[in-house]
Chain A
Amino acid sequence: MPEIVTDEVLWAAAATVPDPEMPPLTIADLGILRSVERRGDSVVVTITPTYSGCPAVDMIESGVIDAVVDAGVAVDRIRVERVLAPAWTTDWITDDGRRKLAESGISPPRTLADASGQPGSVSVTLSGRRRQPIGDISCPQCGSKTVTELSRFSSTACKSLYRCESCREPFDHVKEL
């Protein structure tokens, strides 16, 4: 590949790929893009799925290949690897990603309490040990914290559906994982 293609250029290229289900966000914003590295003559891009059954992974993979080709790498030198561990968490969504979500009318996920954090941050319920989100969900339209969950699942597996009781608008919330 041309010398001009630096590691930074490669990362920046892969990082431009939009998420097919939430196009304002890139795969870098979402934390799906884990690494871009050179191995010998090849470029290896590592991605991780948000959910086991995420149907967008194939599309993301072809998007990554197109983007790295556009950066000047031959298509037969590009490999996309999918990893499951460590498992994706909404805590990997960047600040930029959270801002873009809110601007698109989607309530960003809250951050999760550290498992080893203060007492009470991990609740042991019948569904096992689970890191609890910190703070309240607020309406992305008016900012009100008076919201009601309408459905645990929404337009995609990673979102749940809420209604704001102040402005009465329904909205999607990216659920904490």
Chain B
Amino acid sequence: MSPLLTYVLRHADDNLIVAQRLGELIASMPDLEEDIAVANVGLDHLGQARHFYDYASELDPDSRDEDQFAMERSEREFLNATLVEQPNGDFAQTQMRQFLLDAYQVPLYEAMTASDDARLAAISAKAVKEARYHLERSSAWVVRLGAGTPVSHEKISQAVEYLWPYAGDLFYADDVEEGLAASGVAVDPATVRPTFDATVADVFASANLSVPDDPYARMGGRTGFHTEHLGHLLPEMQSLYRAHPGATW
């Protein structure tokens, strides 16, 4: 695969997999408003994924379409960061996963709007507006849970501890990012990190949470080495398509 196709798929897959996770929660959130919110955030991510897959389709020598990218690839071919495939867990874990993703996507998309690649610039100019809205919502939940009751504080603290190493995978960079960043196409994740760190520090301070000082990051997602959870997510997501390949209705 060309570096650009790899780069586009990495971001398409982040959005698709988190959309699938959020979709799992529809009709099981604690109240109606959160149920609608989780569906809407998931829909935004699905829409962003489709825009990236559309572009990937044009870059792909085999011209695979969006369904083929989403439904015909296996675990080792998915290039999402391991954060987004982590299970929903409890409400605190779902919101913390979302917050860490949002805190990364806002500065990522902001930087991508300046890409020399007009297509990436257009997709991200659209997506950044949605990501900002997501971040406002997830930040509010992190603060509410962290500064809430002893039970909610304990749960969100556990979510931080569990998810932090996977958040590090968002900042993985290899010659794909480095080469494309040098030519003004991609965003070097290292340039996104200071904003991510500042957002986390800011929100965690309001939430009475401490930022983990363990620098360990569980890398691998961007090159197809996933946690076991993706292996359970994909069969559920793909079963209908694989039973009826190419069906339309």
Contacts and interface: CB of A to CB of B under 8 A. Distances in A.
Contacts of A55: 43
B47 A127 contact: no
A49 B50 CA distance: 13
B130 to A, nearest CB: 6
B129 A87 contact: yes
B199 A126 contact: yes
B188 interface: no
B137 A130 contact: no
Interface residues of A, number: 27
A102 interface: no
Contacts of B199: 126
B125 interface: yes
Interface string A140-168: 00000000001111111100010000000
A156 B45 CA distance: 15
B8 to A, nearest CB: 14
Contacts of A175: 133
Nearest to B45: A53
A87 B135 contact: no
A173 to B, nearest CB: 13
Interface stretch (B62-70, B71-79, B116-124, B231-239): B116-124
B139 A126 contact: yes
B217 interface: no
Q: A interface, by DSSP: helix, strand, loop or mixed?
A: loop
B125 A85 contact: yes
B57 interface: no
Q: Which of B50, B125, B126, B139 has the most CB of A within 10 A?
A: B126
Contacts of A126: 135, 139, 198-199, 202-203
A128 B108 CA distance: 11
Interface in A46-66: 49, 51-55
12 contacts: A51-B43, A52-B48, A87-B126, A87-B129, A126-B198, A126-B199, A126-B203, A127-B136, A156-B40, A157-B43, A161-B33, A175-B133
Interface of A: 49, 51-55, 83-88, 126-128, 130, 150-157, 161, 175, 177
The list of the 8 closest CB pairs from A to B, nearest first, reads A53-B47, A52-B47, A151-B33, A85-B122, A53-B43, A84-B122, A153-B40, A153-B37
